[in-house]
Structure 1
Amino acid sequence: MTGTPEFGVMLFTHRFGGQSATEVLRLAADVARTAEDLGFESVWVTEHHFLTGYGLNPSATTLAAYLLGATQRVRVGTAVTILPTQSPVHVAEQTALLDQLSGGRFDLGVGRAGPVVDHEVFGTGIERWRTGLPEALGLVLDAFGGAVAADSEHYRFREVRPQPEPLTRPHPPVHVASTSDSGADLAARHGLPMLFFFSQTADEQARLVARYEQRTAARPVHSASVLAHVTDSPDEAERVVRERLAPVFASGHSDYVMLEEYGGPRPTPAELTAGILANQPVGTPEVCARRLAALIRDGGVGRVLLHVEAAGERDAVLANVERLAGEVLPKVRAELEAA
């Protein structure tokens, strides 16, 4: 990584016990506005379907549109729009529309996710998940350029000219979720930046960055997400993770019926707690800063997306955003400059 790192906020729209959908979604807008006021460069939203607590938002693009309207400066991105369950041309149309309406502040992140139920409900089929993403991404990019048509196993339609054309040229920023070699290869094929997630270690990310750079001369800014929560003591960090964060991620694991490619034992809440406390920037400002600096230095990323919702309650989440901006990020920048 070279240059000054960028920091964004990542919203899963977790729904903790006792919270209404209205409260969760209002908090997302409050976090976006607070992040903008505090100088964060971007806000990113996820997309999940049919989950009770893990993620309330079924349309990353729709929530991103709302947050673009609720802010003035900060970029808003999707991490990710689940491409295999949607028409890639329609995704391109929506992206171009948001690019125009926001004055070029929208970033499209794409990936394929993994729950079986999504493909059952939306009728797209498991085979499109397995093999269709490269063509879908190609159609998105082609649609930005004007005429697009398809005649393949997964997509078949006459030539059309999507509207509106993008404001940003050659197209709005597109990022590719890259949790494996195939994801890195796909991103490199188009010279697009990669999106990493907190389940990937800095060493795994660095390996994929190296693989990417072997395949293309493009050197975009790659992004990585982390779980980030500032506390006054290790005991407080352990309590927040054990009582709030680990259960909501465990609920996601239990609700998902994943494809067999995601095989392996599912972690228990205790295992999730231990792993988060050992690896993520959760803890005192010094612990958070040290782990963030190491991720940027060792992982080859230039943008970090901070998951800030661990506390659950509105005031505590907004206080966490403020502490990250005021107590942690200055330490990260200072450590990287000193190195």
Structure 2
Amino acid sequence: MPDRIVLGAAALPEPERNWLAAVERLPIESVWQGGHILPPTGTGEAITRLALMTAWTERVRVGTAILLLPLYPPVIVAKQLADLDARSGGRVTVGVGVGGEFRHEFDSVGVPVAERGGRTDEAMALLRGLWSGEPVTHHGKYFDVDDITLRPVTPPPGDPSPAGGRPGGPPLVVSGRKEPAMRRAARLGNGWLPYLVSPSAYARSVATIQTEAAAAGRDLAETGFEWMMYVYCSIRRDGDRARDDVVSFLGGAYGDKPAAMLDKVAPSGTPEQVAARLQEYVDAGVRHFVISPAAHEDTLEVVTLAAEEVLPRLTLPATAAPGAVPAASRASS
């Protein structure tokens, strides 16, 4: 995979046709959206949102950030994702995580919260088997299937949409912040997509994942492993407004001193200021940023400034970060 810096964008609060069309005209390479089964607000579920984004885009990759995989029967979700990948021309990427912050979601589908990590690991392996196109027999701790074959949908004759998914199925990129998630990414994932971590914490995660991958006999560079980052941020001409955006959007979860804490993990400010902060992540190993506007309004402005004024300011380091592929001289979109 070329060593370059690219941008994605999160379609918040909901996928919207005109917003997505505007983003596709920018130097943006991917769009993302996740979702809960029983969210506390009136927002969508990950697979249905993904379906909307595949239908309402033509060029960009579309991804889940994130799909709470332990809540889903693997055979059903494998079929859904394979069909969407086939009908989008292989543009789907699946960001997976274990969740757990809303315990009632797990109770409602009969999945113990304590099993979420093990179920996710086993489900990822089962998805890969199902997407191989070969018959699958699997007898695990959580899932049992005997001699089943998954066949993605075949578009009807004359359908103008690009047909055909990726061989072997969509990439599975792992989200999280803790070491179990890093081990999952190293051993089972096609990429690493953490969130709300500082540049130094990201650099440590790169080193951990490389060590775990080597222990498992995986060469991540050969597999095209993606070093990604889901970044809550706000970018405005008025830097104070951007900082107010982030505090208003995320501050409630950080106690009585949100601004200082948020500044470490959620960049905000003018394009120049945010570029300087994102450069720290590039130096730590990030190559694919998913810009998640931490703002309640004018989110397209945030994404536009990121694509047109922040991305051109980012440069690849002269020497690669720990675990990253060798660096080139300049970012490209």
TM-score range, shorter chain: 0.7 to 0.9
Letter in 2 for 1:48: H
Partners of 2:166 and 2:145 lie apart in 1 by 26
What is aligned with 2:325? none
What is aligned with 1:328? 310
- Compute the displacement of 1:176 (Å): 1.5
What is aligned with 2:291? 306
Show the 5 A alignment for 1:232-311.
232-242=237-247, 244-246=248-250, 250=252, 267-268=254-255, 270-298=256-284, 300-308=285-293, 310-311=294-295
Query: What percentage of residue pairs aligned between the two structures are identical?
Result: 28
- Compute the displacement of 1:295 (Å): 0.7
Is the counterpart of residue 30 in structure 1 residue 18 in structure 2? yes
What is aligned with 1:231? 236
- Could you list the runs of 5+ residues in structure 1 that have no partner in the other structure? 14-23, 254-266
Match of 1:142 among 129, 152, 155: 129
SS class of match (2:229): strand
Q: 1:334 to 1:271 in 2, by over 3 A?
A: same
Match of 2:197 among 193, 196, 200: 200
What is aligned with 2:109? 122
- Compute the displacement of 1:338 (Å): 6.7
Q: 1:278 to 1:218 in 2, by over 3 A?
A: closer
Greater displacement, 146-155 / 214-223: 146-155
- Could you list the runs of 5+ residues in structure 2 that have no partner in the other structure? 154-163, 319-328
- Compute the displacement of 1:2 (Å): 7.3
- Higher helix share goes to which structure? 1
RMSD across aligned positions (CA):
2.5
What is aligned with 2:299? 317
What is aligned with 1:69? 55
What is aligned with 1:258? none
Q: 1:334 to 1:150 in 2, by over 3 A?
A: closer
Letter in 2 for 1:290: A
Partners of 1:175 and 1:334 lie apart in 2 by 22
- Compute the displacement of 1:278 (Å): 4.4
What is aligned with 2:73? 87
Greater displacement, 174-183 / 75-84: 174-183
What is aligned with 2:207? 210
Normalised to the residue count of structure 1, the TM-score between the two structures is: 0.81
Partners of 1:317 and 1:164 lie apart in 2 by 35
* Matched positions, count: 301
SS class of match (1:79): strand
Normalised to the residue count of structure 2, the TM-score between the two structures is: 0.82
Counterpart contact for 1:230–1:283, Cα < 8 Å: yes
Counterpart contact for 1:12–1:46, Cα < 8 Å: no
User: What is the CA deviation profile of residues 222-270 of structure 1, one whole-angstrom value per residue up to 9, with x for unaligned ones?
Assistant: 210112211234432332233x3135xx3xx5xxxxxxxxxxxxx22x4
- Compute the displacement of 1:101 (Å): 0.1
What is aligned with 1:104? 90
Partners of 1:160 and 1:334 lie apart in 2 by 45
Counterpart contact for 2:234–2:243, Cα < 8 Å: no
Q: 1:154 to 1:127 in 2, by over 3 A?
A: farther
User: What is the CA deviation profile of residues 182-231 of structure 1, one whole-angstrom value per residue up to 9, with x for unaligned ones?
Assistant: 2222222235211111x222222222211222223112122101122112
- Compute the displacement of 1:9 (Å): 0.3
SS class of match (2:35): coil
Partners of 1:103 and 1:25 lie apart in 2 by 20
What is aligned with 1:18? none
Q: 1:12 to 1:48 in 2, by over 3 A?
A: farther
Q: 1:179 to 1:74 in 2, by over 3 A?
A: same
- Compute the displacement of 1:134 (Å): 1.3
- Compute the displacement of 1:38 (Å): 0.7
Q: 1:271 to 1:89 in 2, by over 3 A?
A: farther
